[in-house]
Structure formats: C-alpha cells, structure tokens
C-alpha cells in the first residue's frame, strides 16, 4: 500500500473510530484492527492507538458543551481516579509479556460489553438513588481500575467507564457519556505521555488516524441526540461481544 492510500485508509478508520468512541464507546473496534491490518504488532498497535484516541476527547467535548454544562467539577473529580489508574495500567503493560496481553484482552472486552446492559437495568437505576457511601466509595475505586484497564488496553475501556459513571451519578445517559469521553481521553493522554518514553509509537500511522478520530468524534455526540438510549446500549453490547470474539479467535486459535 503506497503512502497516499495508507493515509486515506487510516484517516477513514479514524473517522469510524471517532464515531464509535462517542456513540458506542468502542473507538478501538475500528482503530485497533486497522493498525493490526497494516502489520503493527499488538502491543505497539495499542500504544499507537492511544496517540490517536486522545483527540476523540477534543472533538466530543466541542460537540457536547450543552450536556456538560454544570458538570465540569464532577468531571475533574472523577478524572483523578482514572488518570492515576491509567498510569498503573501503563506500568503493567510495559512489564508483562505481549502474549499475556493478547490473551487477556478478549475477556476484558466481553465483560465491558455485558456490563453496559446491566447499567441500563431500571431496577438498578432506582436503587442507586439510595446507594450507601460504601457503594459509592467502591464505585470510585472501580474508576481507578477502569483507568488501569484503559492504560493497559484502551479497547472498550470507555464502556467500563460508562457503566461505572452510570452507577455513581444520577445524570442522564447523554451527560454521562459526554463525561466519559473527556475522562477517557485524559486517561489516554497520560498513557501516551508514558509510552512516549518507554514504548514505540508509530507516529506516521498515528497522525492520519488521529485526524480521522477528531472529525468522527465531533459528529458523534450530535448523532447520539437522535438515537434512543436503549438502542445505543444494545449497539455497544453487540459490538463489544463481536470484538471480543474476534480477539479471542486470534489469541487462542
């Protein structure tokens, strides 16, 4: 593939990833396989993916100012946990063999996809109104774990963050999703800074992917305003399970 076709291929892969990031929390469903398909090894595809996905936060934030109004302090507070977790996850990725990484990924993705269905359970939504301080504290710790997962492997980490934020807050789905987009991008930014000094990043491939992600993430929130929440949840779960099945096949067969 010549350089022009490669740029176009990565650009459109980024657009799809940006849309999936904001609509279905699944940017890596598009961007990660695109990087693998051009011959980048799994661990380095993950680090290069992080370099591109930080731009999804820029685009989605610009398009979600309406949903985020009055929620900036909350976003900053939650981001503390995911950013610290992201740094921990990066250290785990650097120190564990790539083969272990490949075999863990499918289970992480499948878990995240299934959890988004439970987060839409009306009974759970009613019970969280009366959640104890202990439950909320454990949920904040779960954000730390979600951040570690984001640093270790970005794919579907947004789904996990979306589930946890749904438990912690009483905000509507579009607002929670907008907060998730910013928090997830900050986690990716921390991971990128660490990887810049510890791992290889394919910058020539990351740049066109990042441009596409920026474009797609800007239009994603606008699309979400016109899609029923139940359909979005179901879409997230289906895409997560498809991705989990694909990575399970490549890792074990």
Q: Answer for the pair 157, 146: CB distance below 8 angstroms, yes or no.
A: yes
Rounded to whole angstroms, the Cα distance separating 7 from 249 reads 28
pLDDT one-digit tens code per residue, 64-112: 888 899 899 999 999 999 999 999 988 887 787 667 767 877 887 787 7
pLDDT one-digit tens code per residue, 3-32: 899 999 999 999 998 988 887 667 877 888
Answer whether 0.85 is exceeded by the pTM: no
Q: Nearest CA to 18 among 212, 191, 233?
A: 212
- Beta-carbon contacts of 153 under 8 Å, excluding residues fewer than 6 positions away, are 46, 89, 93, 101, 104, 105, 108
Q: For position 165, what pLDDT does the model report?
A: 86
pLDDT one-digit tens code per residue, 29-48: 788 889 999 999 887 888 89
With 70 as the cut, is the pLDDT of residue 220 above it? yes
Q: Domain residue spans in the chain?
A: 3-252
With 80 as the cut, is the pLDDT of residue 125 above it? no
């Amino acid at each position: 593939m010549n350089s022009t076709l490669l740029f176009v291929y990565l650009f459109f892969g980024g657009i799809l990833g940006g849309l999936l990031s904001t609509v279905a929390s699944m940017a890596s469903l598009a961007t990660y396989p695109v990087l693998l398909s051009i011959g980048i090894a799994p661990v380095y595809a993950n680090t290069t993916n992080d370099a591109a996905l930080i731009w999804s936060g820029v685009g989605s934030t610009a398009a979600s100012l309406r949903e985020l109004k009055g929620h900036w302090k909350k976003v900053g507070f939650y981001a503390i946990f995911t950013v610290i977790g992201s740094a921990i996850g990066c250290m785990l990725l650097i120190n564990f063999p790539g083969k272990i990484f490949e075999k863990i990924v499918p289970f992480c993705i499948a878990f995240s996809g299934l959890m988004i269905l439970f987060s839409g359970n009306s009974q759970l939504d009613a019970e969280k109104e009366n959640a104890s301080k202990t439950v909320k504290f454990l949920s904040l710790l779960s954000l730390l774990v979600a951040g570690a997962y984001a640093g270790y492997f970005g794919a579907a980490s947004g789904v996990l963050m979306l589930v946890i934020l749904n438990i912690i807050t009483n905000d509507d789905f579009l607002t929670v999703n907008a907060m998730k987009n910013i928090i997830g991008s900050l986690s990716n930014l921390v991971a990128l800074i660490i990887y810049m000094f510890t791992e290889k990043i394919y910058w020539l491939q990351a740049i066109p992917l990042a441009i596409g992600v920026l474009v797609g993430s800007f239009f994603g929130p606008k699309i979400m305003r016109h899609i029923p929440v139940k359909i979005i949840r179901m879409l997230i779960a289906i895409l997560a399970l498809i991705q989990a099945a694909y990575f399970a096949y490549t890792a074990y067969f």
